[in-house]
Amino acid sequence: MAADDPLRSKIVAGGTALVLMMRQGLVAPERLIALKHIPDLDGIEDRGEVVAIGACATVTTVASSPLVSSALPSLAYACRAVANVRVRNVATLGGNLAEADYASDPPAVLISLGAFCEVAGVEGARTVPVADLITGLYTTDLQEGEVITRIVVPKPASGTRANYIKYKSRSSEDRPCVGVASISSTSPDGSIASLSVAVGAVAPTPQHFPDLLEDAIGQRLDDSLAEEIAEAYASRIEPMDDLRGSAWYRTQVIRALVKRSLLDTEVGIR
Amino acid sequence: MIIEDSFRLSVPPQRAAEVLLNADTVARCVPGLREIEETEPDRYEAVLGLQIGPVKPTFAGWLQVDRSASPKRLEAKAEGTDRSTGSVAQVSFSADLEEDTEGSTLVQVSADIRIRGRLGQFGTGVIQSAAKEIMRQFSACLDSSLSAASGEEAPPAPSAGRSVLKIIWAVIRDFFQRLLNRGRKGGG
């Protein structure tokens, strides 16, 4: 139905984004296609090497899931940090990704974890890495009539360190001004085996630069390396100005928080 | 709010000014432009469709070009209304052209954008990002338009949907026809 008349129907999951926009008079769809009653879209499944989160699982469900808390603690933490409890109980993780609001917590963490989405559409099913899903301001790679069905997150190896830092410049119940997610694992000799850093809420899309991290592999993650990576991210990112912070301010915060995120990673994985 | 951006065109300033003042070429490169009609010299009525996620405002209004300081500086004013959200956008543009490396022009654009009505809720950050993206698509299209020799097949318009592309082409052809019929200099 959504593919037949894309301009007049909108898909709704939790409604925390779409209904808000309808109330603000920004969108006026003639039909709403509700996903909440479609069976099997809201469970969280242990698939061995990965965790498969149903797109209609609420943010609270993800945050409080024992499986997510043990296997993906930085994701559980980020989900607990979203908005407030009233929003978390209704908003869905799939809806959060599909809305692609830049001032959001889950996308950066999911990208740092190498997550991907299972997408269903009239032309069939496909998978899209979360890193490629959000393509612009409130814009995703999803075509008309496509729906995210699952968010699949690879389980990090035992001993991996991961965290998410949400920086709010205004009230305690607010969108992030800057969000930094990082994850690293070390070889037996203490050198970096793998490393991923993603910065959210500063630009239309989450900012993720594997090329800036390549040279870090094999080195020790110490103060000066963390500072180097933080400086590289701060220089590469062109942040937005908005009421949570100016572009200049965000650059300073990015520099400080990327370093902090790299050095303060909690051991969270099994 | 004032947005500043710049882009390069691979032709000297005199030619760059001609291109920027050429409604035919410019209209083809503005993403989302659905209709444009010259009602008086340098005054146009136009319809511009934008998309910011699920919000798809369509601004209908006018554009007035001031070429008195060409080729160093071009100015324009525009105002449009989107009925679906009850919003009005007013924009004043200025473009300063200076010769960059030999044979190319640096175009520095300043746009003073005011939005009243519901779309104003989006906030300056979102509006700035959307404006920069439009500018990016516009300048890329314009630059590749210059690489294509005149009279050859035009470069593809930035993503605006197939049916919208047909409307743009129909209107541009019609506009160009009327331009030729008037025997006025320009076009191209």
Which residues does chain A have with pLDDT short of 50?
266-270
Average pLDDT value over all residues in chain B:
83
What are the φ and ψ backbone dihedral angles of A231, each rounded to 5 degrees?
Answer: -65, -40
Please report, as a single letter, which amino acid is at residue B170.
A
- Cα angle, residue A244 at apex, residues A240 and A245 outer, rounded to 5°: 55
Of A18, A25, A137, the CB nearest to B129: A137
Whether residue B160 has pLDDT greater than 70? no
CA–CA distance, B117 with B57 (Å, rounded to integer): 12
Put simply, the answer to whether B128 touches A240 (Cβ < 8 Å) is yes
Whether residue B175 has pLDDT greater than 70? no
A12, A19, A24, A26: best to mutate for the B interface, most B CBs within 10 A:
A26
Per-residue pLDDT, A39: 86
pLDDT tens digits for range B50-93: 988 788 899 999 999 999 998 899 999 999 999 988 999 999 99
CA–CA distance, A95 with A135 (Å, rounded to integer): 16
What domains, with CATH codes, occur in chain A? 38-154 (3.30.465.10), 161-263 (3.30.390.50)
- Tell me the count of A-B CB pairs closer than 8 A: 52
Put simply, the answer to whether B52 touches A7 (Cβ < 8 Å) is no
Q: Is B52 touching A (CB cutoff 8 A)?
A: yes
Q: Which of residues 63-102 of B touch A (CB under 8 A)?
A: 84-86
Six-digit token pair at A110? Answer: 């999911």
Q: Which residues of B touch A136 (CB under 8 A)?
A: 133
Cβ atoms of residues A129 and A116 within 8 Å: yes
pLDDT tens digits for range A79-111: 999 999 999 999 999 999 999 999 999 999 999
- Cα angle, residue B57 at apex, residues B51 and B59 outer, rounded to 5°: 120
Q: Is B133 touching A (CB cutoff 8 A)?
A: yes
Of B84, B85, B129, the CB nearest to A204: B129
Per-residue pLDDT, B147: 77
B52, B122, B129: best to mutate for the A interface, most A CBs within 10 A:
B129
Q: Which residues of A touch B56 (CB under 8 A)?
A: 7, 27
CA distance A270 to chain B (A): 39
Per-residue pLDDT, B161: 47
Put simply, the answer to whether B123 touches A25 (Cβ < 8 Å) is no
Of A21, A203, A242, the CB nearest to B55: A21
Q: If you average pLDDT over residues B111-122, what whole number do you get? A: 89
pLDDT tens digits for range A241-252: 988 999 999 999
Cβ atoms of residues B104 and B129 within 8 Å: no
pTM for the structure as a whole: 0.82
Per-residue pLDDT, B178: 63
Which residues of chain A approach chain B closer than 8 Å at the C-beta?
7, 10, 18, 21, 24-28, 99-100, 136-139, 203-204, 240-243
**Residue of chain B minimizing CA distance to A99:** B53
Per-residue pLDDT, B152: 44
What domains, with CATH codes, occur in chain B? 2-181 (3.30.530.20)
pLDDT tens digits for range B11-60: 999 999 998 998 888 889 999 999 899 999 999 999 999 988 788 899 99
**A50 or B130, higher pLDDT:** A50
Going by pLDDT thresholds of 50, 70 and 90, the confidence category of residue B171 is low
Q: Which of residues 138-177 of B touch A (CB under 8 A)?
A: none
CA distance A180 to chain B (A): 19
SS3 A136: strand
Of B54, B121, B128, the CB nearest to A27: B54
